[in-house]
Chain A
Amino acid sequence: MSKYDVSELDADELNQAIDDTNFPQSHHVPSSNGNRDDGDEKNIRKPSMPLPMKIQNGILSKSYSDDVFAMPGTPRTPRSITTPGNWHEKCTFHHDLELDHRPSTREDLISDMANSYRMLLSSLGENPNRQGLLKTPERAAKAMLYFTKGYDQSLEEALNGAIFDEDHDEMVMVKDIEMFSMCEHHLVPFYGKVSIGYIPCKKILGLSKLARIVEIFSRRLQVQERLTKQIAVAVTQAVQPSGVAVIIEGVHMCMVMRGVSKTQSKTVTSTMLGVFRDDPKTREEFLNLVHSK
């Protein structure tokens, strides 16, 4: 049985198929009693504010225990109790009303990250106290947290039950979904377009949910190959189709603005699962539709 024979994989195998290298449960949350091997971490300053969080902005943050993270797919970054109502307007974390997700309590990490950024600015030889740079550490910390907000999101939340029974067995494709991610090797953005196609097997997915799946996995420290696979397996987990195809065409700033400096270069990766892998005609149809205007 081919590893990618999607129709024969059960839930457990699907969970294993997804590359969880950069899923938060693989990360040991640093604790104050130092029960991780220290090694070269002696020089690292420990976070000044230990988790769990305290009351801030009138929101009581729930303290978490390790049991919560035994379940795969559960983000380990601290969450808060969502308060219903219109308090989000007073949220200091988001500048715009992104009401489609819960604000992250990673807000408390901003001051720590801001300190790191301030040290970075002085190491560069800049003056962190000049007017243009005064609030840059906080802004840069918030920006970095935004670029990694995918760690905080789980598939079930994003899909929000938008799976419908429909007797449609022709290809469904959403193409040219913009994607912005962070290269995990240089912490420099890479961006591009994602095209996803799937052949439903009794169930279809809300179209914007495909874009949301892209968002969850792209807003992490990524490698384009892994991103492609994670999106494909996530769509498979969501609707169990006969086949999924994902193509990503990306521009890597780490290659364009530094290093080898090839400004026109693009990186293309693809993942074909199920019937897209087995049947060349289906794959060809997908590729033709992706490249059509």
Chain B
Amino acid sequence: MSEKYQVVNGNKIHENGDREQNDDASLKEMADCYRLILQNVGENPKREGLLKTPERAAKALLFFTKGYHQKISDVINGAIFTENHDEMVIVKDIEFFSMCEHHLVPFFGKVSIGYLPNNKILGLSKLARIVEVFSRRLQVQERMTKEIAEAVDEALKPLGVGIIVSASHMCMVSRGVQKINSKTLTSVMVGEFRTNQKTRDEFFRLARS
């Protein structure tokens, strides 16, 4: 099974889109795992409300990890345009939902992406799609932020990229230390955003306003 994978930053990515074949076989396996989990938790998997829960939960988890099967080149779909624009482009407050890889519990929040084009601009929704690809995986917020930055950087080769991710982690809110209002902020600055203080300030001011 390992030949099919390409490991990027610790996340395995399917090289081909043989998703259908994988999913049918693994769906049944995953449903069985969930049925066992339901029993262990003390519930009765045969009661009406839980009868189809293993299948539903398996499909839900597959949906939450569909980012593994997506390639950035497919998602961008050629929506890169030549444009003589060298001012900052920001798409902010893109909501995302990801899964904490440590507890398998969701974390969610907002991503703000800014970049300084180098004669090439990206279709705006593609920035949101890039967020989707990397958020629909078992993730750690730091890694997700970096992966989004690298993807935008590689796709466009811009003068600079800045990403800010602000998220609420249910593993911290609904269990463990239980701090309801806490938010985790991570950011990655590449190129001009890293070297130039004024660019960075402008980005922070616009993205966080």
Contact = CB atoms under 8 A, between A and B. Distances in A.
Nearest to B26: A123
B29 interface: yes
Most buried by A among B40, B57, B170: B40
Contacts of A180: 170, 173-175
A244 to B, nearest CB: 24
B64 A113 contact: no
Interface stretch (A23-31, A58-66, A80-88): A23-31
A120 B103 CA distance: 13
Interface residues of B, number: 58
Contacts of B26: 123-124
Contacts of A47: 36, 39-40
B104 interface: yes
Interface in B10-36: 10-12, 14, 22, 26, 29-30, 32-36
Contacts of B39: 30, 44, 47
Contacts of A120: 30, 33-34, 61
Interface string A147-184: 11001100000000000000000000000001010001
A123 B140 contact: no
Interface stretch (A185-193, A234-242, A271-279): A185-193
A118 B129 CA distance: 29
A221 B48 CA distance: 13
Contact of A147 (B35, B47, B48, B175): B175
Contacts of B56: 185-187
Contacts of B138: 121, 124, 126, 132-133, 136
Contacts of A43: 32
A232 to B, nearest CB: 19
A21 interface: yes
Interface residues of A, number: 64
Nearest to B171: A143
Contact of A27 (B7, B44, B101): B44
Interface string B137-164: 0101000000000000000000000000
Interface in A100-117: 106, 109, 112-113, 116-117
Given A96-B176, A132-B140, A258-B64, A144 B32 contact: no
B75 interface: no
B206 interface: no
Contacts of A9: none
Most buried by B among A30, A132, A147: A132
Contact of B106 (A26, A106, A123, A253): A253
Contacts of B43: 22, 24, 27, 148, 151, 221
A105 B33 CA distance: 21
Contact of A256 (B38, B63, B97): B97
A91 B34 CA distance: 27
9 contacts: A22-B49, A77-B42, A124-B68, A125-B22, A136-B101, A140-B105, A178-B180, A184-B49, A186-B56
Closest 3 CB pairs of A and B: A257-B97, A180-B174, A27-B44
Given A187-B34, A188-B106, A221-B38, 14 more contacts: A27-B44, A95-B176, A106-B41, A109-B40, A112-B40, A113-B36, A116-B37, A123-B33, A125-B12, A133-B138, A140-B105, A151-B42, A221-B50, A257-B106
